[in-house]
Chains A and B, each alone.
Chain A
Amino acid sequence: MAYVRKDAGTLTAGEKRRFVNALLEVKRRGEYDEFVRMHVAYYASDGERGLRTAHMAPSFLPWHRRFLLDLEEALRRVDDSVTLPYWDWTRDRKATSAPWTADLLGGNGRRSDHQVMTGPFAYREGNWTLKVGVTEGEFLTRDLGRRRAPIDLPAKSDLEWALKESAYDVAPWDSTVTRGFRNRLEGWGTGRGSASWRNHNRVHRWVGGVMLSAASVNDPVFWLHHAFVDLQWHRWQRRHRGARYLPATAPGSGDAQHGRIVARRERLPPWDVTPAELEDVGRIYRYA
Chain B
Amino acid sequence: MVISIGGAPVGAEDGAPGPARPGPAGPGPEGRTRREVTRGLRACALTAALAPLLTAFRAPHPRSGRGGGVPDGTAADRASAEWASSDRVPFDRTYRGCRIQGVWIPARGAGEAGRWHVTVDGRPLHLMRRADGSWLSTVDHYCSYPTPLEAARAAVDALPPGQRLRAPDPADDAAHPHEGGRHGVRA
Contacts and interface: CB of A to CB of B under 8 A. Distances in A.
A146 to B, nearest CB: 9
B18 to A, nearest CB: 21
A201 interface: yes
Given A40-B187, A113-B161, A176-B132, A51 B179 contact: yes
Interface residues of A, number: 53
Given A48-B129, A175-B130, A137 B60 contact: no
B180 interface: yes
A46 B130 contact: yes
Nearest to A177: B131
B108 interface: no
Q: Main secondary structure on chain B at its contact with chain A?
A: loop
Contacts, number: 146
B131 A176 contact: yes
Interface residues of B, number: 44
B87 to A, nearest CB: 12
A113 B159 CA distance: 9
Given A133-B186, A137-B163, A47 B178 contact: no
B138 interface: yes
B60 A208 contact: no
B160 A41 contact: no
B187 to A, nearest CB: 5
A115 B162 CA distance: 11
8 contacts: A37-B185, A40-B185, A41-B178, A44-B180, A49-B58, A137-B163, A176-B131, A202-B142
Interface of B: 55-58, 60, 126, 128-134, 136, 138-146, 157-167, 178-187
A-B complex: 8 closest residue pairs judged by Cβ atoms: A47-B129, A45-B128, A114-B160, A214-B138, A204-B142, A201-B142, A46-B131, A49-B56
